[in-house]
Amino acid sequence: MAQKNNFQFSIREYRPSDEHVVMSLFRNGIQEHVYPAFFKALSHPDHVGIALSISVAGYVLGGSSYFQALLFGSAWAGLLYYCCHEIYEGYMTRRLSTDMADIPANYLENPDNGFWVAEADVSGESKVVGMVAVMGKSGGEEDERFDDRNGGAMGGGGAEFAQDAGDGSYGEMSHMVVAFSWRRKSLGLQLMRKALDFCKERGYARLVLDVSSPQTTAISLYQKCGFVQTASHSNTHANRLFSKLARINVMRMEKFI
């Protein structure tokens, strides 16, 4: 049954005919994090100091050239942007070659998984403006992901969550994307409720998700919905130097259902 609200949108299961718009939403949703991550990294005190030092070096080496100083400083900023871009581009490429490569097979044909889209009435036509997915997981998969080998750090509530999860199975939410013009209309909350309702139906004790530190708006939404951070790591699956320079952490957040 489709869910509706005052903004005339409905949430339904993904259909193969949605592939083009869903892929576009996914790519745009990932790529939009690059600039916030870049500006956050660039404004870090360590990077500000390095940028100033490099600019001074350029000024001196260029014979008191302001252009050379600007060029050297811009090169450092360009490196930081490249690192942020590669991290999110790498994540997007990896997901497009795994679960997103065949949504019907990976989500719709598995009763433990689900993929939904949100439709809005735009000028009398239905248009997909959001999406969310949930994949059933076992407790063992989580333990392997957040261990000391990949920089994992369990928060104070991590052990308690694991014990209370019963058989250890849980739902992992991903691909939460809302089109820009449909944000701040409670659509994100409705998609979240859909994911939580699905987990209840499947008997999962909790819903977990991963979010990168530059996604401050998303983090605020999850906290508003009752999610708490239980783990954190810096393994973005990109080059370790890129992750270190970009200063991006991946946080695991959870909510009991």
- The β-bridge partners of 137 are 170
Closest of 6, 87, 76, 3 to residue 44, by C-alpha: 76
Query: Model pTM?
Result: 0.83
User: Do the strands 250-256 and 228-233 form a parallel or antiparallel pair, or are they unpaired?
Assistant: antiparallel
Extract the tokens encoding 131.
């999406």
The tens digit of pLDDT for each residue in 32-78 reads 999 999 999 999 999 899 988 989 888 888 888 888 889 999 999 99
Of 28-42, 130-144, 195-209, 239-253, the one with minimum mean pLDDT is: 130-144
Is pLDDT larger for residue 82 or for residue 235? 82
* CB 106, CB 113: distance < 8 Å: yes
Reported as a pLDDT band with limits 50, 70 and 90, residue 22 is very high
Report the mean per-residue pLDDT for the chain.
87
| CATH numbers and ranges of domains, the chain | 3-33+96-256 (3.40.630.30)
Residue 193's alpha-carbon distances to 29, 67, 90, 111, 173, in angstroms, are: 20, 54, 29, 18, 11
Residue 168, pLDDT score? 79
Does 8 score more than 80 pLDDT? no
* CB 205, CB 255: distance < 8 Å: no
Residue 149, pLDDT score? 37
Residue 164, pLDDT score? 45
Closest of 44, 33, 24, 46 to residue 86, by C-alpha: 33
Residue 137's alpha-carbon distances to 26, 86, 176, in angstroms, are: 22, 28, 18
What is the Cα–Cα distance from 190 to 199, expressed in whole angstroms? Answer: 14
Extract the tokens encoding 65.
């050239």
The tens digit of pLDDT for each residue in 124-181 reads 788 999 999 999 998 766 555 544 334 444 444 444 444 444 577 999 999 999 999 8
pLDDT above 70 coverage of the chain, percent: 87
